[in-house]
Amino acid sequence: MATEIKMPQLGLTMEEGTVERWLKSEGDAVKAGEPILEITTDKLTNEVEAETDGVLIKIVAKEGSDVPVKGILGYIGQPGETISGTAGNSAPVSKASPSAGTASVSDKTAGPSAPKKILIIGGGPGGYVAAIRAAQLGAEVTLAEKQYLGGTCLNIGCIPTKCLLHSSELVSQIKEQGRDIGVEAEGVTVNFPQVIAHKNAVSHQLTSGVAALLKANRVKVIDGEASFTGPKSVMIKKSDGSSESMTPDAVIIATGSVNAKPPIPGLAENENCIDSTGALSLEKLPASMVVIGGGVIGLELACAYAGFGTKITVVEALDHMLPMLDGDLTKIGVAHMKQMGMDFNLECPVQAIEKSPVGAKVICKDKNGNEVSFEAEKVLVAIGRRPNTASLNLDAAGIDNDRGRIKVNDHMETNIPGVYAIGDCVLGYAQLAHTASAMGEVAAENICGMDAAYDEATNPTCVYIEPEAASVGLTEEQCKEKGIDYKVGKFPMSANGKALILNGGEGLVKIIAGSEYGEVLGMHIIGPRATDLICEGALAIGQELTLDELVATIHSHPTVTEAMRECALDALGRPVHIPPKKKK
């Protein structure tokens, strides 16, 4: 007798799954425990295994079908066996769409007006979050994406970079910290193709999850490139060569940004000059690399490759690096990167790039006006990003912009009613994935009749150098510029037990607070788990918490979070685990 293949329940809240891919075809032999298909649910991709030996005699749920938990996916039986009755022909049951049902039901649920029709251009962390939020609010949502869901962040940005950094940090910990903590390993090597394969696997899992989430929220996804033909009229050129015109009630532009290409002589002609995308897909580990640019992208990738053993030379036209961070954090970060063997050349603008037997020669001028040059196998150009709006035809819509960066208000509205913009493509805001997501929710909520505004005050900046750094709110330098009367608390990671265990106690927590009331104005962290810890500072600023309230909150021991409370105690002048400040 045939055995049913059923949709498994992979979590208490799971109601249905999507058939992603069949690994076997009808008529194929299968063995118990052998994977026969892949399903997706939320952000997970899982394999369904055969429960018995036999032959896959019937596939009921086709690829792309939504099937409820315990719903029938197919049947395993013996060669020549058939399914009795109509069981083998029954279609998988899926949840009815909001528009399903009789006319009378539709009339009742539609209310006084039909759902808003929203077009979102771009499927990155801003676009797909906006799409889901709008769908939650009852809108009829279409998302157009010309390249890949998840955008730069999931495919060629945040996530892939952190994969490389994790692999690199593990190598560094084994080689540099292992012996000290009693873990000795011989012959530790870097299998760079596997590093890249792991990065690709993580990205694929997350982007597949985004596709599943959009489908679960009934967002229509179009594979194509959108451009404006009028104020709210859009033409989408699909990947199959066809076109579709749309005039939705509202449009959200979420096209992000792309790597900037500076007009450096010789750059375009040298195949050994790469951008961040190229740095995330190299086939072999380079022995040396010159990094042009001392910003976040350049230094994160520099740290990753330095950990793998690549000789890194950084050239920066300015006299400082990482300007978005508090100066105390930058000093610690640069000192550590120098310990990793990285060389820094500040006030050293690039003049040209030439061919070299090694790979490429970068010709610069130092701060004294003398010509200097640096040779390496690869040259990473990381001097910033520009808005990805060139193909949108903004002029046809009359959308106000500054060299492609779209001007918006705090509701994310452009100058054209019903047209919104979010993320890296807008003017005057932080270019971060979580910025785009927050803006996406604001735009969706405003379109759907809510009153939402974007507030950058609680927006953290995270820099995944080694050790990682994070910042939210005002820096000490900004307080001085604004004439704010403030006080400072500092707590070294060397006085925190968990930080000592994790990285030897390298790092610092710094809190800026108002002098009179002690309200938290800024928090700045460099050290282990800094990018996870920074949300305490964001919450404190958003809720207008004071130093006293941070101190009154019990922090668990032993954790790095204790450093937050200790830092607040220092700002109040009563530290426990460091000596008190000397009175002036």
Which tens digits make up the pLDDT trace of 49-72? 999 999 999 999 999 888 998 999
Do 363 and 478 share a domain, yes or no?
no
pLDDT value for 584: 62
Pair of tokens at residue 530: 């800094």
pLDDT value for 307: 96
The span from the CA of 176 to the CA of 389, in Å, is: 45
Pair of tokens at residue 122: 């771009």
DSSP collapsed to 3 states, 373-425:
EEEECEEEECCCEEECCHHHCHHHHCCCEECCEECCCCCCECCCCCEEECHHH
Beta-sheet pairing, 257-259 with 385-387 = antiparallel
Beta-carbon contacts of 122 under 8 Å, excluding residues fewer than 6 positions away, are 143, 144, 145, 151, 253, 254, 255, 256, 423
Percent of the chain with pLDDT over 90: 85
Strand partners, 450: none
Do 394 and 537 share a domain, yes or no?
no
pLDDT digits (tens, 9 = 90+) for 211-244: 999 999 999 999 999 999 999 999 999 999 999 9
Lowest mean pLDDT among 101-110, 193-202, 465-474, 551-560: 101-110
Residue 242 lies in a domain: yes
Torsion of CA 220, 225, 231, 232, to 10 degrees: -10
Do 393 and 375 share a domain, yes or no?
no
- The pLDDT-based confidence of 29 (bands split at 50, 70, 90) is very high
pLDDT value for 101: 31
Lowest mean pLDDT among 5-14, 414-423, 494-503, 565-574: 5-14
Beta-carbon contacts of 346 under 8 Å, excluding residues fewer than 6 positions away, are 294, 316, 318, 319, 320, 321, 367
The span from the CA of 483 to the CA of 103, in Å, is: 64
The span from the CA of 257 to the CA of 243, in Å, is: 24
Residue 94 lies in a domain: no
**Which of 383, 399, 421 is a domain's end point?**
383
| CATH at 552 | 3.30.390.30
pLDDT digits (tens, 9 = 90+) for 173-214: 999 899 899 999 988 999 999 999 999 999 999 999 999 999
Beta-carbon contacts of 32 under 8 Å, excluding residues fewer than 6 positions away, are 49, 50, 51, 52, 53
- The pLDDT-based confidence of 93 (bands split at 50, 70, 90) is very low
pLDDT higher than 50, residue 119: yes
| pLDDT average, residue stretch 383-404 | 96
Judge if the upstream peptide bond of residue 460 is cis by omega within 30 degrees of 0. no
pLDDT digits (tens, 9 = 90+) for 265-304: 999 999 999 999 999 999 999 999 999 999 999 999 999 9
Percent of the chain with pLDDT over 70: 94
Domain coverage including residue 124: 117-180+190-259+387-457
- The answer to whether 335 and 324 have CB atoms below 8 angstroms apart is no
pLDDT value for 84: 64
pLDDT digits (tens, 9 = 90+) for 352-391: 999 999 999 999 999 999 999 999 999 999 999 999 999 9
**Which of 435, 457, 479 is a domain's end point?**
457
The span from the CA of 444 to the CA of 136, in Å, is: 10
Give the residue among 430, 433, 394, 431 at the shortest CA–CA distance from 414.
394
For residue 41, give the amino acid letter. T
E strand residue ranges, 137-294: 140-145, 220-228, 234-238, 243-246, 250-253, 257-259, 273-274, 288-292
**What is the full DSSP assignment across 290-342?**
EEE--SHHHHHHHHHHHHHT-EEEEE-SSS-S-TTS-HHHHHHHHHHHHHTT-
| First vs last C-alpha separation in the chain | 89
pLDDT value for 88: 41
Do 372 and 397 share a domain, yes or no?
no
Mean pLDDT, the chain, integer: 91
pLDDT higher than 60, residue 160: yes
pLDDT value for 323: 86
Residue 144 lies in a domain: yes
Residue 105 lies in a domain: no
Residue 103 lies in a domain: no
Lowest mean pLDDT among 58-72, 157-171, 452-466, 510-524: 58-72
pLDDT value for 40: 85
pLDDT higher than 70, residue 487: yes
Do 517 and 406 share a domain, yes or no?
no
pLDDT higher than 80, residue 89: no
pLDDT higher than 70, residue 98: no
Residue 67 CA to its chain's centroid (Å): 30
pLDDT value for 113: 61
Count Cα neighbours of 376 within 13 Å in the Cβ-side half-sphere.
27
Residue 98 lies in a domain: no
pLDDT value for 582: 78
Other residues' Cβ atoms within 10 Å of the Cβ of residue 254:
35
Residue 309 buriedness (CB in 10 A; 0-12 / 13-18 / 19+): middle
**Gyration radius of the chain over CA positions:** 27
Beta-carbon contacts of 284 under 8 Å, excluding residues fewer than 6 positions away, are 192, 193
Do 31 and 171 share a domain, yes or no?
no
Do 128 and 255 share a domain, yes or no?
yes
Torsion of CA 69, 73, 78, 79, to 10 degrees: 180
Residue 221 lies in a domain: yes
**Which of 383, 415, 447 is a domain's end point?**
383
The span from the CA of 290 to the CA of 312, in Å, is: 6
pLDDT value for 111: 40
From residue 430, alpha-carbon distances to 256, 324, 444 in Å are 12, 10, 19
pLDDT digits (tens, 9 = 90+) for 339-353: 999 999 999 999 999
Q: Which residues are catalytic?
A: 557
The span from the CA of 356 to the CA of 317, in Å, is: 22
Residue 101 CA to its chain's centroid (Å): 39
Do 121 and 204 share a domain, yes or no?
yes
| pLDDT average, residue stretch 475-488 | 94
The reply to whether the predicted model has a pTM over 0.75 is yes
Do 544 and 496 share a domain, yes or no?
yes
- The pLDDT-based confidence of 92 (bands split at 50, 70, 90) is very low
Q: What are phi and psi of 30, to 5 degrees?
A: -135, 155
Do 337 and 349 share a domain, yes or no?
yes
Do 414 and 364 share a domain, yes or no?
no
- The answer to whether 446 and 420 have CB atoms below 8 angstroms apart is yes
The span from the CA of 190 to the CA of 308, in Å, is: 7
- The answer to whether 56 and 27 have CB atoms below 8 angstroms apart is yes
Residue 533 lies in a domain: yes
The span from the CA of 437 to the CA of 460, in Å, is: 13
User: Which helix H or strand E contains 311, and what residues bound it?
Assistant: strand 311-315
pLDDT higher than 80, residue 41: no
Pair of tokens at residue 123: 């499927």
